[in-house]
Amino acid sequence: MPLVHIALRHTTPERIAAIRDGVYAALRASFEVPENDRFILVSQHEAHEFDYDPGYLGIARSDELVFVRINCSASRGVTQKKALYRDIVERLVQSPGLRPEDVFIHLVETARENWSFGHGAMQYA
């Protein structure tokens, strides 16, 4: 049930598709997300709308930085989260060729009753 929001500087549709596909594949593999549970938003930004520190925590980021925010239920442990972070980075390095330093991931966990997938129903509670 993850809801993924990807934010990046303007780029090509092919690059966006590769990032979306890589994140979804990692969620399927590392977080055991079911097939077709794919809800991904992408926002592209101009340079003046995209602010980041290029050296925070000693990580050398570039303008190719991609923010990946994943909202999901609070049901996974630290080991599984670490595996997801590694998997996303490995896939995005492979395609579309991002640098590991340019993949910023933020996981936001919520209770299962905080989700409605339609009809005003609380499907997971």
* pLDDT at residue 125 greater than cutoff 90: no
What three-state secondary structure class fits 48?
helix
Q: 3-state DSSP call for residue 92?
A: helix
Catalytic residue among 2, 34, 54, 100: 2
Alpha helices for the chain (secondary structure H): 13-30, 78-94
Tens digits of residue pLDDT in 50-75: 999 999 999 999 999 999 999 999 99
In the structure encoding, which two tokens stand for residue 119, read together?
């009809």
Q: What is the pLDDT of residue 68?
A: 98
Q: What is the pTM of this model?
A: 0.95
Domains assigned to the chain: 3-114 (3.30.429.10)
Q: Is the dihedral of CA 18, 77, 122, 67 positive or negative?
A: negative
- Provide the pLDDT confidence category of residue 1 given band limits of 50, 70 and 90: confident
The Cα–Cα gap between 90 and 10 comes to: 22
Q: Is 96 a catalytic residue?
A: no
